[in-house]
């Protein structure tokens, strides 16, 4: 039996870490990953001509942005400046490095762009020296200078590559290779493009507001046909022995892209609070860390505030809407880069990435610091793993430490992560410490580059952070592990809600079991290191009670390591053929056909659960457009000290999405006495009176408002708080009540204001 296709990090002079005779016999199929500047996992290196085209693309983006600014072409300026600050800002320094694989170049371009944008925006915010346009001009000037340096060198190298190409073209084989256009890679890319176009067209024809069935029921057959074409391209890449990077990266973004096109709003309500921080920084030209924990850890928000001012974006909700379309492919690249340090064979590297991407629906990627924290963390892990040197017999060998360039990049990412998210740095440190104990991170103090900025910033903001630290929770592992229960649940949880959470959880359990099987089969130092790195995130439960979010966060940080182990367990066609040699029907089905069938079934199952997990709860999870408009009216016209009554849970309302989020209040139904019983004799008119009385009596304000929306009713029903039929009765009673007057009415949402002329409620 062939051993799983898993290998240690780079070993000087050896093709893998050999720890047993069984592993030694199969060492030929194992490959030690190489460094940043070499081929990583079979990835193609960027040629000098490719680097010239990339530099020209950046310059063209800047030229178009300048033209759009001069001629006041707002949308064009928004797109080009956003593209530059989020994706292209890190390209110029990377081009100076020289030869690098496409995978690493793409990942580091996005990561360094995000880290630099975050750092610059944060420095302007914390010092209140807010000059967004001037900062953009300085960054563009530096970028042009760096591009000029790289352009001169690559131009010389490209001429040399051209002479080599001309010599190869004189031979019939070389000429045939160059003339042929229908290469396997181009066929796969073309097929993926066709599938993506079908998905976009179908999403564009979908209704604007979320429906009870979710997006996957609202879209037509063309959408599923597009998904099928993309899956076929992944399988085709395996059959044609070419890289599946294009269809797999597309798969990682296809669902969030469809949501952004169909709804035009963020897919998670919590994004509204983050939008409010961005708006506050823009309005006040800086954050106030002493006000709340969001402003204390506002690195990402400050970077996006700089982007909005520099790009002329009036409402940052557009950035929040399209944010997952950038982050989801970036996370896929991050997992692939990390997998390339441990796995042999390019297809297994991308298989690990797609397993992670399609099984992570418990943690919806949205406009949030934790999504960027995970991306920075994956990149730090991939950078921090060092080659092993085999020492004397019987010793563990010596370690070759990281170079100063990689250490500097790790420190940059750590600083940007430390001021953006409270938890991600410590989970990253836990993983680095585990890898260092197993001998795969050197120097030993690499984890301090991540820990020091996090501890320093936490100490400076202890006055805010201390309110969220409970010393009694330290050491209570099993108590912290228990997710909180919804105390207001009084009705059975619908099946759609259970499947949305239990389905992806089951897939994660299967991934974990397969990862353990891989460790049992391999039984090598590096396999145990990967499993221990996955378990390191559980340390979060030892120090804090983060509730359900803690469970999600731990699973999110463990998933990449488990996906790598699962990909290492992937079978080889030759091994399968040997095991079934005695079966007379086996010759009718070649080994590669069986592996293709297994891959197809796996992808369909993973993608099906991914689509369902991300879209089934859209009715109560996605911001409706008219709800956003209603809250814009409230936050723009209500006086300071006003209070809004939410006629249900507060989790289904995008509250606090403006710069005035500290001056206006929101009250969920939980704060007004809870929910009515689920009995059939529900009196909606009396319920309106009781709610209004509780609001006026217990929550005095300069003016009172109320919000009725389908999202609130949907959330209450999906989590067993109140039936949707009763909520519809409440909505009708609010419309007929003499106590409230509507000031905004939309398709799914109505905003009310309390009549000040009415007599006090008895």
Q: What was the pLDDT predicted at 327?
A: 97
Strand partners, 740: 754
How far apart are the two ends of the chain, measured CA to CA in Å? 81
DSSP assignment string, 506-560: HHHHHHHHHHHHHHHHH--HHHHHHHHHHHHGGGGGGT---HHHHHHHHHHHHHH
Of the candidates 669, 609, 646, 747, which has an alpha carbon nearest to the alpha carbon of residue 272?
A: 646
Tens-place pLDDT, residues 682-729: 999 999 999 999 999 999 999 999 999 999 999 999 999 999 999 999
Q: What was the pLDDT predicted at 20?
A: 39
Per-run averaged pLDDT (10 residues), the chain, 762 residues: 50 35 34 40 75 95 96 95 97 87 93 98 97 97 95 85 50 45 86 97 89 88 96 94 94 96 94 96 95 94 98 96 97 94 86 94 89 96 74 39 81 97 94 92 91 96 81 59 68 92 93 92 87 91 68 88 89 40 46 81 95 94 95 96 94 93 93 83 93 93 96 94 94 95 96 77 54
Q: What was the pLDDT predicted at 386?
A: 74
How far CA 762 is from CA of 404, 676, 694, in Å, comes to: 73, 20, 11
Q: What was the pLDDT predicted at 24?
A: 32
- The pTM (predicted TM-score) of the whole model is 0.90
Strand partners, 446: none
CB count within 10 Å of CB 29 equals 18
Q: What was the pLDDT predicted at 235?
A: 95
Tokens of 283: 């309005």
Q: What is the SS3 assignment for 39?
A: coil
Q: What was the pLDDT predicted at 341?
A: 87
In 616-707, which residue ranges form alpha helices assigned H by DSSP? 618-621, 625-637, 684-698
Distance of CA 627 to the CA centre of its chain: 25
Strand partners, 704: 643
In 638-673, which residue ranges form alpha helices assigned H by DSSP? none
Q: What was the pLDDT predicted at 621?
A: 94
Tokens of 572: 């080889």
* Count of residues in the chain: 762
CB count within 10 Å of CB 351 equals 27
Of the candidates 669, 709, 659, which has an alpha carbon nearest to the alpha carbon of residue 295?
A: 659
- The 8-class DSSP code of residue 474 comes to T
Q: What was the pLDDT predicted at 511?
A: 95
Q: What was the pLDDT predicted at 22?
A: 41
List Cβ neighbours of 171 (8 Å cut-off, separation of 6 or more): none
Compute the distance between CA of residue 408 and CA of residue 113 in angstroms, rounded to an integer. Answer: 15
């Amino acid at each position: 039996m062939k051993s799983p296709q898993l290998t240690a990090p780079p070993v000087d002079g050896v093709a893998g870490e050999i720890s047993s005779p069984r592993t030694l016999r199969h060492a030929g199929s194992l490959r030690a990953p190489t460094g940043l500047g070499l081929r990583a996992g079979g990835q193609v290196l960027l040629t000098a001509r490719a680097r010239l085209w990339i530099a020209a693309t950046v310059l063209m983006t800047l030229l178009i942005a300048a033209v759009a600014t001069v001629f006041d072409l707002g949308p064009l300026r928004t797109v080009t400046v956003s593209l530059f600050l989020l994706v292209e800002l890190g390209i110029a320094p990377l081009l100076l490095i020289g030869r690098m694989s496409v995978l690493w170049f793409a990942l580091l371009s996005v990561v360094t762009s995000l880290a630099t944008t975050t750092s610059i925006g944060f420095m302007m915010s914390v010092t209140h020296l807010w000059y967004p346009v001037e900062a953009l001009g300085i960054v563009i000037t530096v970028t042009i200078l760096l591009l000029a340096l790289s352009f001169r060198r690559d131009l010389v190298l490209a001429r040399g590559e051209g002479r080599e190409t001309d010599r190869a073209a004189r031979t019939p084989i070389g000429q045939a290779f160059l003339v042929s256009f229908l290469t396997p890679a181009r066929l796969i890319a073309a097929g993926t493009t066709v599938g993506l176009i079908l998905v976009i067209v179908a999403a564009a024809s979908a209704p604007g507001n979320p429906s009870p069935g979710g997006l996957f029921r609202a879209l037509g057959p063309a959408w599923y046909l597009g998904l099928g074409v993309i899956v076929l391209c992944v399988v085709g890449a395996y059959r044609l022995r070419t890289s599946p990077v294009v269809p797999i990266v597309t798969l990682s973004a296809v669902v969030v892209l469809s949501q952004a096109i169909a709804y035009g709003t963020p897919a998670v309500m919590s994004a509204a609070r983050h939008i409010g921080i961005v708006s506050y920084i823009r309005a006040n030209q800086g954050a106030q860390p002493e006000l709340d924990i969001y402003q204390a850890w506002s690195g990402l928000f400050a970077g996006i505030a700089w982007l909005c001012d520099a790009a002329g974006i009036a409402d940052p909700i557009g950035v929040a809407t399209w944010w997952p379309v950038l982050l989801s492919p970036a996370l896929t690249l991050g997992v692939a880069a990390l997998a390339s340090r441990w796995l042999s064979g390019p297809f297994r590297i991308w298989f690990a990435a797609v397993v992670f991407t399609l099984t992570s629906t418990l943690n919806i990627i949205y406009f949030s610091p934790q999504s960027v924290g995970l991306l920075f963390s994956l990149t730090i892990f991939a950078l921090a793993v060092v080659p092993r040197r085999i020492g004397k017999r019987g010793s563990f060998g010596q370690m070759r430490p990281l170079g100063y360039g990689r250490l500097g990049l790790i420190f940059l990412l750590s600083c940007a992560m430390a001021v953006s998210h409270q938890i991600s740095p410590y989970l990253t440190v836990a993983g680095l410490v585990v890898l260092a104990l197993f001998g795969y991170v050197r120097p030993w103090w690499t984890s301090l580059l991540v820990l020091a900025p996090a501890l320093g910033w936490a100490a400076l903001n202890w006055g805010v952070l201390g309110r969220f630290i409970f010393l009694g929770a330290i050491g209570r592992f099993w108590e912290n592990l228990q997710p909180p229960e919804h105390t207001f649940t009084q009705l059975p949880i619908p099946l759609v809600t259970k499947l949305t959470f239990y389905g992806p959880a089951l897939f994660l359990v299967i991934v974990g079991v397969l990862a353990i099987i891989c460790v049992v089969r391999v039984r090598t130092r590096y396999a145990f290191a990967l499993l221990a790195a996955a378990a390191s995130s559980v340390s979060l439960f030892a120090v804090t009670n983060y509730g359900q979010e803690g469970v999600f966060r731990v699973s999110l940080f463990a998933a990449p390591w488990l996906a790598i182990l699962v990909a290492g367990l992937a079978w080889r066609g030759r091994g399968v053929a040997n095991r079934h040699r005695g079966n007379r029907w086996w010759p009718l089905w070649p080994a590669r056909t069986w592996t293709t069938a297994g891959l197809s079934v796996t992808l369909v199952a993973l993608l099906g659960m991914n689509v369902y997990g991300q879209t089934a709860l859209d009715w109560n999870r996605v911001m409706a457009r008219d709800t956003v408009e209603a809250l814009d009216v409230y936050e723009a016209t209500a006086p300071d000290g006003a209070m809004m009554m939410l006629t249900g849970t507060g989790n289904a309302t995008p509250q606090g999405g403006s710069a005035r989020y500290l001056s206006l209040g929101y009250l969920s139904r939980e704060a007004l006495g809870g929910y009515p019983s689920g009995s059939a004799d529900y009196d909606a008119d009396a319920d309106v009176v009781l709610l209004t009385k509780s609001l006026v009596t217990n929550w005095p304000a300069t003016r009172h408002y109320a919000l009725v929306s389908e999202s609130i009713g949907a959330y209450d029903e999906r989590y067993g708080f109140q039936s949707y039929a009763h909520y519809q009765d409440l909505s009708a009673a609010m419309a007929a009540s003499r106590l409230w007057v509507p000031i905004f009415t939309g398709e799914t949402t109505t905003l009310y204001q309390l009549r000040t002329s009415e007599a006090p409620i008895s």
